[in-house]
């Protein structure tokens, strides 16, 4: 389609005032999440690709929750106090619209609509015609049906509750998405009435008005059925979530990523993968995640906002959040890396090791049962099992500095602020409270004693 300057101006309205009773939730329906973002976010994203001005969202049920959740979005909010139907909802947006160009109407609970489908509707509409997004459904129950003349032109939409048995047999349904000529909108909306089964102002009644005024009514069918699928309950939402995830999985496969099972992957954000990345089952990716070439992600890892350099292996059940992992690391199983961690190359972080706001130099190892927080650890350091940085005094956090080639014996407590200098060795079981000098053994440990002739207590006879 042409995007030249002769294209009439585009205005958009998203209807999102409905309660969504069948979600059985306190949260307004369009705030329920699909792939980690509110449904409404998906709709706004598809629309923003078309740069409408204005972009009006009609809200109502749930009060200020919507405007608050989207405080940053370039959206004009129109309040619909009482939900009196889709026509009444669009009427609330009217004061924000100009009688010029095209008005696109979307639903906030139809989250997977593609921009390409919207573009197709706009190129047909041209600010002149009424364009409906319709589709054939084997099971049309619940939807408005498209009425056509013997010649096949659209002459109306009948809501299910107002339909005769014959009309209910029609399988072409109204998805609710439409593109309208802005200059007719005010007249059409003001002429709506609520003389129908639901006593609502039906937006769908603009169709018969258009026909009466000689405005052409055209239809577009989405490429995929799921694009126009709406969410009325949690089962619908779960179904659309699967469709969304399947599409992402197939895009990754095409890009050269090996997925153990495309049906067991969840991307709730953006996952960038270089070639030959391998992802095992059950992994969740949130925010912005980048996996460089040859990275292997074991089963049931959760990665959020992180970057993993080439050929690093994540064994099962790792949790990474806000970290930068160097190349050829070996993490897990059961490793937890929290925000602010940066690792060099060839680093090992083993099972039940938690690392927070810490830098680990090249070839450093912390293989078992350790907590490292607010620390700078050099290269080729060996951190023994059970070592912890005591970084928090109950009020403030303090830093631990560990030089290159340090060896920390098992079960050591490093009471921060403290420095262990290059090449130092710390004896197992030490509590280090002050500087441990370079290249020397530092140990703080109660002297071992054996009590002669000591006997175990015996059970007293009753």
> Which of 45-53, 197-205, 410-418, 421-429 is the region at the interface with ligand UD1 (rule: CB under 6 A)?
197-205
Is residue 15 close enough to count as binding ligand UD1 by CB under 6 A? yes
Residue 315: CB minimum distance to ligand UD1, A: 45
The CB-of-232 to Ca ion minimum distance in angstroms stands at: 5
Three state DSSP letters for 246-284: HHHHHHHHHCCCEECCCCCEEEEEEEEECCCCEECCCEE
Residue 159, contacted partner among ligand UD1, Ca ion, none, CB below 5-8 A by kind: ligand UD1
Q: Is position 230 an interface residue for Ca ion (rule: CB under 5 A)?
A: yes
Query: How far, in Å, are 18, 124, 190, 268 from residue 238 at the CA level?
Result: 20, 33, 38, 14
Please provide the DSSP assignment of 208-225 as one string. HHHHHTT--EEEE--SSG
User: 70, 107, 226, 285: which one contacts ligand UD1 (CB under 6 A)?
Assistant: 107
- Binding partner of residue 78 among Ca ion, ligand UD1, none, CB under 5 to 8 Å per kind? none
CA-to-CA dists, residue 144 to 87, 147, 237, angstroms: 14, 9, 21
Catalytic residue among 129, 236, 311, 368: 368
Cα separation, 324 vs 342, whole angstroms = 5
Binding string to ligand UD1 for residues 278 to 317, with x set by CB under 6 A, is what? ----------------------------------------
83 lines the binding site for ligand UD1 (CB under 6 A): yes
Q: Which stretch binds Ca ion (CB under 5 A): 77-85, 150-158, 222-230, 313-321?
A: 222-230
Give the Cα separation of 318 and 302 in Å (integer).
6
The burial of 449, by beta-carbon neighbours within 10 Å (0-12 exposed, 13-18 middle, 19 or more buried), is given as exposed
Based on the residue annotation, tell me whether 272 is a catalytic residue of this protein: no
Region of 167-175, 229-237, 341-349, 354-362 interacting with Ca ion (CB under 5 A): 229-237
Chain residue whose CB lies nearest Ca ion: 230
Q: Which of 338, 371, 326 shows the shortest CA–CA distance to 353?
A: 371
Which CB sits closer to Ca ion, 230 or 350? 230
Told to check if 112 binds ligand UD1 by CB under 6 A, we report no
User: Are the C-beta atoms of residues 400 and 413 closer than 8 Å to each other?
Assistant: no
Picking from 85, 91, 79, 94, the residue whose alpha carbon sits closest to that of residue 11 is 94
Q: Contact residues for Ca ion (CB under 5 A)?
A: 230
Q: Which residues are known catalytic residues? A: 368
């Amino acid at each position: 389609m042409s995007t030249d300057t002769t294209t009439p101006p585009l205005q958009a309205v998203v209807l999102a005032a409905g309660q969504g009773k069948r979600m059985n939730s306190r949260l307004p329906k369009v705030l329920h999440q699909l792939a980690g973002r509110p449904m409404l976010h998906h709709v706004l994203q598809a629309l923003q690709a078309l740069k409408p001005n204005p972009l009006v969202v009609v809200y109502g049920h749930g009060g200020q929750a919507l405007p608050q959740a989207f405080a940053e979005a370039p959206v004009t909010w129109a309040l619909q106090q009482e939900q009196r139907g889709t026509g009444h909802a669009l009427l609330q947006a009217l004061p924000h619209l100009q009688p010029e160009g095209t008005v696109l109407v979307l639903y906030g609970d139809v989250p997977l609509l593609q921009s390409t489908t919207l573009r197709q509707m706009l190129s047909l509409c041209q600010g002149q015609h009424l364009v409906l997004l319709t589709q054939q459904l084997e099971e049309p129950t619940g939807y408005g049906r498209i009425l056509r003349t013997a010649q096949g032109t659209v002459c109306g939409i009948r809501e299910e509750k107002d339909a005769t048995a014959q009309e209910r047999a029609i399988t072409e349904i109204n998805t609710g998405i439409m593109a309208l000529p802005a200059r007719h909108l005010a007249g059409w909306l003001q002429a709506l009435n609520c003389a129908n089964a639901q006593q609502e102002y039906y937006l769908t009644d603009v169709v018969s008005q258009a026909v009466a005024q000689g405005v052409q009514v055209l239809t577009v069918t989405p490429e995929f059925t799921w694009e126009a699928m709406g969410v009325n309950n949690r089962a619908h939402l779960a179904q659309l979530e699967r469709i969304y995830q399947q599409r992402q999985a197939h895009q990754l496969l095409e890009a050269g990523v090996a997925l153990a099972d495309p049906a067991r992957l969840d991307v709730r954000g953006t996952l960038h993968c270089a070639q030959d990345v391998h992802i095992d089952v059950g992994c969740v990716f949130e925010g912005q995640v980048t996996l460089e070439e040859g990275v292997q992600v074991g089963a049931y890892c959760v990665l959020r906002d992180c970057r993993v350099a080439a050929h690093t292996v994540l064994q099962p059940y790792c949790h990474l959040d806000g970290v930068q992992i160097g190349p050829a690391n070996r993490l897990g199983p059961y490793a937890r890396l929290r925000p602010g961690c940066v690792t060099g190359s060839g680093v090992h972080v083993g099972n039940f090791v938690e690392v927070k706001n810490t830098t680990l130099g090249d070839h450093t190892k912390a293989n078992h049962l350790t907590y490292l927080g607010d620390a700078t650890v050099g290269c080729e350091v060996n951190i023994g099992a059970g070592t912890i940085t005591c970084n928090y005094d109950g009020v403030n956090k303090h830093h631990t500095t560990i030089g290159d080639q340090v060896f920390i014996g098992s079960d050591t407590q490093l009471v921060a602020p403290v420095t262990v200098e290059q090449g130092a060795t710390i004896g197992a079981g030490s509590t280090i409270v002050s500087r441990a000098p370079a290249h020397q053994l530092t140990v703080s440990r109660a002297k071992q004693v054996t009590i002669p002739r000591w006997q175990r207590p015996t059970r007293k006879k009753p």
